[in-house]
């Protein structure tokens, strides 16, 4: 029987890990990047009290911090949280934000525009999608 951590270590290292508050677009952007051949993973770091959970789970080549204002997160998901909840998430995300290679405020951006910015950044660093993809 293998541990969950051992299984995670056998997965290929992701090209990009996405962190940020709830409703910033992590899951949507990860799916779109995956469809284009990138090894992308959304990390629910905002729920963890372990500051470097993103690193422990993925050790990505590139860490992208997707951010959204409190007002935008409420609009997108109809979240019933107050500003204190949002600010608590932002505090839990401080380590990831400080170590992010790329920061994108997603308010007012389409998912396609966010993906385009990430892909441009990845390509500028010499990264390419997995073999046989886009």
Q: DSSP string spanning 74-126?
A: HHHH-----HHHHHHHHHHTHHHHHH-SEEEE-TT--HHHHHHHHHHHHHHTT
Instruction: Give the pLDDT of residue 132.
Output: 42
What's the confidence (pLDDT) of residue 52? 61
Can you give the pLDDT at residue 10? 62
Q: In what order do the strands lie in the sheet with 16-19?
A: 40-42, 16-19, 62-67, 102-105
Which of 118, 114, 79 is closest to 100 using CA atoms? 118
Report whether 109 contacts 72 (CB < 8 A). no
Q: In three state form, how does the secondary structure of 34-74 look?
A: HHCCCCEEECCHHHCCCCCHHHHHHCCCEEEEEECCHHHHH
Are 68 and 106 in contact, with CB atoms under 8 Å apart? yes
Residues of the chain with pLDDT under 50: 1-4, 7-8, 132-134
Please report which helix (H) or strand (E) contains residue 16, including its range.
Answer: strand 16-19
Residue 72 and residue 107 in contact, taking contact as beta carbons nearer than 8 Å: yes
Other beta carbons within 10 Å of 31: 14
In the prediction, which pLDDT does 77 show?
Answer: 75
Going by the DSSP 8-state scheme, the letter that residue 30 receives in this structure is H
């Amino acid at each position: 029987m293998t541990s969950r951590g051992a299984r995670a270590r056998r997965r290929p290292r992701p090209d990009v890990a996405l962190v940020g508050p709830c409703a910033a677009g992590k899951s949507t952007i990860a799916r779109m990047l995956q469809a284009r051949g990138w090894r992308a993973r959304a990390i629910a770091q905002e729920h963890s009290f372990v500051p470097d959970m993103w690193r422990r789970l993925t050790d990505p080549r590139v860490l992208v911090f997707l951010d959204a204002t409190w007002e935008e997160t409420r609009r997108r998901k109809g979240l019933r949280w107050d500003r204190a909840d949002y600010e608590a998430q932002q505090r839990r995300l401080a380590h990831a934000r400080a170590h992010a290679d790329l920061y994108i405020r997603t308010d007012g951006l389409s998912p396609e525009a966010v993906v385009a910015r990430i892909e441009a950044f990845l390509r500028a660093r010499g990264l390419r999608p997995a073999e046989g993809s886009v």
